[in-house]
Structure 1
C-alpha cells in the first residue's frame, strides 16, 4: 500500500500509504528544528549588547581568546581575533540567513551547506576541546545538516514552487 504519487509540491495523493508519507516528510522536523534554532541563535547574538565586544563576559572576543589554544585549527581563531566584532556579525547574520533559508526552503541545499560550514567551524574552534566529544553540540549540528545538504528542501518550500514553475515553462 505504499504506492502512489504526490503532487508537485509534495501533497499526498489518496493512493499513497502512510509509510510513503512518513518517508517523504521525514526531514521536515529536522528542517524546522534547525531553521528555528539558527534564526533564534542569530537574533540572540544580534540583540546581545555584550556579544560583539572584544573583551568582557559574554563577548565573542573573550570566547575566541579562551578557546584559541585548545582549538583544532588555531589559525581560524586567530583570523576571528583580528576583528572579533566582524566575525561575530558574520556568524550572527550567517545563522539568520541559514535559518530563514531552510525554513522557507529557498536554496535549501545552499542554506544547509551554510549551516554545516558554520557548525564545522564552531566545532573546530569553540567546542573542539569538549571531552568526551559527544558532549559538544556543534558536531551534532554538523551531522544534522548533512541530510539536508543531500536532500535539499523538495517539499513545502519555495524551492518546490520554483521547480514547478521551471517545469511548466518548459
Structure 2
C-alpha cells in the first residue's frame, strides 16, 4: 500500500473474500509438488526393485549405464567418482529420490526437499542426459527447472511446513 491507496488484492485479503483466481493462485504449486513427489518416489522404488539395476556390471545395471554415459557427460569426473562404487551410488540415488519424493508430497522441509530434487536432476543432466539432442528431448533439465519454483516458494499450503508455521504463530500469540 502506498499513500493510502489500496489495491484490489489488498482489499480482497482484508475482507476475506476470495474468488476462483485467488484460490488458484494460492494453490498453484500444489500440482507440481504432487507430480514431482510421486515421480521421485516412483523413480526411487523402480531402482530399488529392478534386479538388473543395482549391479556394477551387466545389461541395465547402474555401472553399465554410467560407463556408457561417461564419454558424453558434461562432467565426466562425477561419473568417475560414482564408478568407484556404482552399487553404493545407485542406492544413494534411489534413497535420495525416495526421501525427496516423500518430503515433497508431505511438504516437509519443502525448500530443502526441492533443493535435493534439483541437485539430483542437475547431476543426472550433467552426466547421463547431457548428450541428448536436441536438449528438450532429455527430461533431467526439465525436472531441474521444475524444482526451482519449489525451492523459491517451499510448500506453503497443505503441508507439514504450513502446519508448523501456523503452530509457531499460534504459540507466539498473534500474526507474523
Scaled to the shorter chain, the TM-score interval is over 0.9
d(CA) in 2 for partners of 1:59, 1:5: 54
SS in structure 1 at match of 2:71: helix
Question: What is the TM-score with the length of structure 2 in the denominator?
Answer: 0.90
In 2, the alpha carbon distance for the partners of 1:34 and 1:130 equals 22
Structure 1 counterpart of 2:167: 165
Displacement of 1:5:
3.9
Which whole-Å CA distance do the structure 2 matches of 1:53 and 1:19 have between them?
Answer: 50
Structure 2 unaligned blocks of 5 or more: 1-7
Q: How far did 1:4 drift? A: 3.3
Distance 1:98 1:5 in 2: 33
| Aligned counterpart, 1:107 | 109
Alpha-carbon shift at residue 14 of structure 1 (Å): 6.4
Once the two structures are superposed, residues 126-170 of structure 1 have per-residue CA deviations (whole angstroms, 9 ceiling, x without a partner) of 000001101000000000000000000000000000001111122
Q: Paired residue for 1:4?
A: 12
Residue ranges of structure 1 left out of the alignment (5+ in a row): 7-12
Distance across 2 between alignment mates of 1:163 and 1:30: 21
Please report the RMSD computed on the Cα atoms of aligned residues, expressed in angstroms.
1.5
Q: Give the distance between the partners of 1:5 and 1:63, measured in 2 at CA.
A: 52
Q: Which secondary structure does the structure 2 equivalent of 1:4 belong to?
A: helix
* C-alpha distance in 2 between matches for 1:165 and 1:97: 24
Who is 1:20 aligned against? 22
The two structures have a TM-score, normalised by structure 1, of: 0.93
Q: Which structure: larger Rg?
A: 2
**Structure 1 CA distance, aligned partners of 2:25 and 2:41?**
26
